[in-house]
């Protein structure tokens, strides 16, 4: 009798991570502590104690300076604050999925909303989540929701943020949410059931429907193990939950032809192997007979089931299919249409005889003795698995923007359509998102619903993280006088703001140019690249003053090297006053044309002759090197020819 072992049985990502962190921390000097059980498995907890992880249920017992590993289910907010205040070091082994729910609860509080948790009120994960919001409500199912709504009509008007225990049975969560959506006026719902938990529960239900006996392995305090047992009991007439292999007995398998085995997320692989081996022995004992040569021969063949992943060797290639030996009784083959999406590709271009190939079992026909395989579907399934894993691991993925639609953009990530809301696109509010089409972008996956083929991602989280990293690096290394290449982000009447690597600094209008300018727009525009240097900075206020002018060059010295008294210069009128006009001789150096030197006649005001921005020729009539003042004259150039004519001899 075969034993069907669930592929998802055993440690999930969060539990595996927690145990690894505890083992690593325990190996450091002085060992460490855990508050309560790190995970819900007594055997693992005992093993950790032997490795030097001391256990206590009282936070105040942990001395200051010691290290505590926070359990995978999370901890009360008050406990964390107390540990920090007492100087106790913490290593968070809290499952990333649980951390996300805690943040949602805290966000609900900051938004003035009331958090609702669907789950077991006595479970440490739920108690921890509840502590991150103010007056958090916890409902163990739809009946509790109905009772709360019936208690007071005003409850329907309260803004609610709904989350769910990671191991909750989906039916309980969805039924509870349907009631809240129907009865309440302002509800935000977040499906925070762990993807691994949902996959484990779905697989357990599928196996339980196929077998006569279902064995569930896991600690009796484990919520996810308890839920697995409840799910299996609805589909299998005989279900038993055990912690170790020695709890099995031959009587359990009397009259059975097939048995199933799954395990909770906190069950080590070693225990699962022990149970699997023990089940095989107990089944053999229950049968009470020697296996025949024919049975042994049949067992030597691999059993194929629809949906299995199998690895085989390519034995033959024809124009329409590829034959594969997968070690089963059935002859297995892959149709060309199931080998690749490209209708023009030839099988021999993709595989060769002798190649090892991993495939998906599409259909098994025991009567005619063949099995249809698909490489294309397996490749697609792997992509989805990678996408789902990316949520847990918070992996940064790369994709191409393919389209803009209502509310956001679509990014193709390894062939999977990922919807990115406009608020998560990384673009300013109201920006034209169609301009992003064709761009390669980096993003994180925030939500996956494989059944509905819905994937949601965020570009903003990646760009913000990169920006924060750049900001931290800049503030760590900034110095007065340090040069940066920056981009003009915005402009005002008094200067421009320049991004120098995640941080904006301001260049005052007086530091933009040696020339006198009225507005920054005269020398730059938004998007321009500027070479700037740091004049001053304030890390506490996060302010940076930047300059563009090269102070290593002295404009006065440039003037002195180029001109002397009596020289003629072409200058630009920069400012008109009642007593005359200022003109730029060289960038950064202005001279005064007194009103009496503007024309060869009397004028009432300079603007009668000159205008700002006008280029005119002047004569340098005086230079005060000490005060760095220059006197200029237009009149001297107008009257000089006349004076020379007066001095010329008269011809007779």
Rounded to the nearest 5 degrees, what angle is found at the Cα of 396, between the Cα atoms of 392 and 398?
130
Gap between the terminal Cα atoms of the chain = 142
Q: Is 297 exposed, middle or buried (0-12, 13-18, 19+ CB in 10 A)?
A: exposed
SS3 content of the chain, % helix, strand, coil (to 5): 35, 30, 35
Residue 60 and residue 56: Cα distance in Å, rounded? 9
CA distances (Å), 597 to each of 223, 591, 601, 606, in order?
95, 12, 9, 10
Nearest to 159 by CA among 130, 189, 195: 189
CA torsion sign for 180, 181, 182, 183 is positive
> 620 and 565 in contact (C-beta within 8 Å)?
yes
Active-site residue (options: 61, 109, 125, 404): 125
Residue 167 and residue 193: Cα distance in Å, rounded? 6
Q: CB 638: neighbour CB atoms within 10 A?
A: 15
CA torsion sign for 433, 414, 338, 345 is positive
247 is catalytic: no
Cβ neighbors of 245 (< 8 A, separation 6 or more) are 271, 274, 275, 277, 278
Listed in order, strand segments (DSSP E) in 414-451 are 416-421, 440-449
Residue 442 and residue 381: Cα distance in Å, rounded? 22
Residue 85 and residue 60: Cα distance in Å, rounded? 11
Nearest to 257 by CA among 272, 237, 274: 237
The residue behind tokens 């001899």 is 649
**DSSP code per residue over 337-377:** GGT-S-TT--HHHH--TT-EEEEEEEEEETTTTEEEEEHHH
What length does the chain have? 652
CA distances (Å), 106 to each of 128, 155, 438, in order?
12, 20, 37
Tokens of 534: 């740091």
- Name the CA radius of gyration of the chain, rounded: 39
Nearest to 522 by CA among 509, 534, 531: 509
Q: CB 566: neighbour CB atoms within 10 A?
A: 9
**DSSP code per residue over 1-22:** --EEE-TT-S--HHHHHHHHHH
Angle between helices 42-50 and 13-26 (to 10 degrees): 20
Residue 322 and residue 499: Cα distance in Å, rounded? 57
CA distances (Å), 388 to each of 268, 286, 415, in order?
22, 41, 14
Greatest extent of the chain over all pairs of C-alpha atoms, in Å: 153
> 415 and 434 in contact (C-beta within 8 Å)?
no
State the catalytic residues.
125
């Amino acid at each position: 009798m075969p034993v069907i072992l669930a592929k998802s049985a055993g440690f999930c990502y969060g539990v595996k991570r927690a145990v690894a962190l505890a083992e690593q921390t325990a190996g450091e000097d002085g060992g460490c502590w855990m508050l309560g059980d790190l995970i819900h498995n007594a055997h693992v907890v005992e093993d950790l104690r032997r490795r030097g992880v001391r256990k206590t249920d009282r936070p105040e017992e942990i001395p200051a300076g010691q290290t505590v590993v926070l359990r995978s289910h999370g901890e009360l907010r008050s406990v964390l604050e107390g540990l920090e205040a007492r100087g106790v070091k913490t290593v968070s082994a809290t499952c990333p999925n649980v951390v996300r729910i805690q943040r949602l609860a805290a966000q609900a509080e900051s938004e003035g909303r009331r958090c609702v948790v669907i789950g077991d009120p006595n479970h440490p994960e739920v108690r921890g989540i509840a502590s991150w919001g103010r007056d958090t409500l916890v409902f163990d199912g739809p009946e509790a929701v109905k009772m709360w709504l019936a208690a007071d009509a005003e409850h329907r008007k309260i803004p609610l943020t709904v989350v769910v225990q990671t191991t909750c049975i989906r039916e309980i969560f969805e039924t509870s949410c349907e009631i809240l959506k129907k009865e309440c006026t302002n509800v935000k719902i977040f499906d925070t059931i762990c993807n691994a938990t949902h996959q484990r529960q779905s697989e357990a239900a599928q196996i339980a429907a196929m077998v006569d006996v279902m064995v569930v392995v896991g600690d009796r305090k484990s919520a996810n193990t308890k839920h697995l047992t409840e799910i299996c009991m609805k589909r299998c007439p005989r279900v038993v939950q055990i912690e170790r292999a020695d709890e099995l007995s031959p009587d359990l398998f009397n009259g059975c032809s097939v048995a199933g085995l799954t395990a909770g997320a906190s069950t080590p692989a070693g225990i699962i192997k022990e149970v699997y081996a023990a089940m095989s022995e107990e089944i053999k004992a229950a049968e009470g007979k020697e296996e025949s040569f024919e049975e042994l021969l049949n067992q030597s063949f691999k059993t194929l089931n629809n949906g299995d992943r199998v690895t085989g060797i390519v034995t033959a290639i024809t124009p329409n299919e590829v034959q594969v030996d997968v070690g089963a009784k059935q002859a297995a083959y892959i149709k060309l249409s199931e080998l690749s999406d490209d209708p023009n590709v030839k099988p021999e271009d993709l595989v060769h005889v002798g190649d090892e190939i991993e495939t998906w079992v599409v259909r098994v026909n025991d009567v005619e003795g063949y099995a249809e395989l698909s490489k294309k579907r397996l490749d697609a399934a792997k992509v989805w698995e990678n996408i789902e894993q990316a949520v847990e691991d918070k992996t940064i993925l790369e994709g191409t923007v393919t389209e803009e639609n209502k509310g956001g953009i679509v990014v193709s990530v390894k062939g999977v359509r990922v919807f990115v809301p406009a608020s998560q696109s990384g673009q300013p509010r109201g920006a034209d998102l169609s301009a992003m089409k064709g761009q390669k972008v980096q993003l994180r996956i925030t939500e996956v619903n494989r059944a509905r083929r819905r994937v949601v991602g965020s570009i903003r989280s990646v760009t913000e993280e990169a920006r924060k990293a750049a900001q931290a690096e800049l503030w760590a290394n900034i110095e007065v006088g340090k040069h940066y290449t920056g981009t003009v982000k915005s402009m005002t009447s008094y200067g421009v703001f320049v991004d120098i690597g995640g941080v904006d600094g301001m260049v005052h209008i007086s530091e933009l140019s040696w020339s006198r300018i009225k507005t920054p727009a005269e020398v730059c525009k938004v998007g321009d690249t500027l070479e700037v240097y740091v004049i001053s900075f304030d890390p506490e206020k996060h302010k940076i003053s930047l300059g563009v002018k090269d102070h290593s060059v002295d404009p006065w010295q440039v003037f002195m090297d180029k001109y002397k008294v009596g020289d003629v210069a072409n200058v630009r009128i920069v400012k008109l006053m009642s007593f005359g006009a200022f003109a730029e001789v060289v960038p950064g150096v202005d001279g005064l044309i007194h009103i009496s030197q503007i024309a060869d006649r009397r004028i009432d005001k300079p603007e009668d002759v000159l205008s700002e921005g006008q280029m005119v020729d002047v004569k340098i009539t005086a230079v005060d090197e000490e005060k760095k003042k220059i006197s200029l004259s237009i009149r001297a150039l107008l009257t000089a020819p006349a004076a020379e004519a007066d001095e010329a001899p008269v011809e007779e």
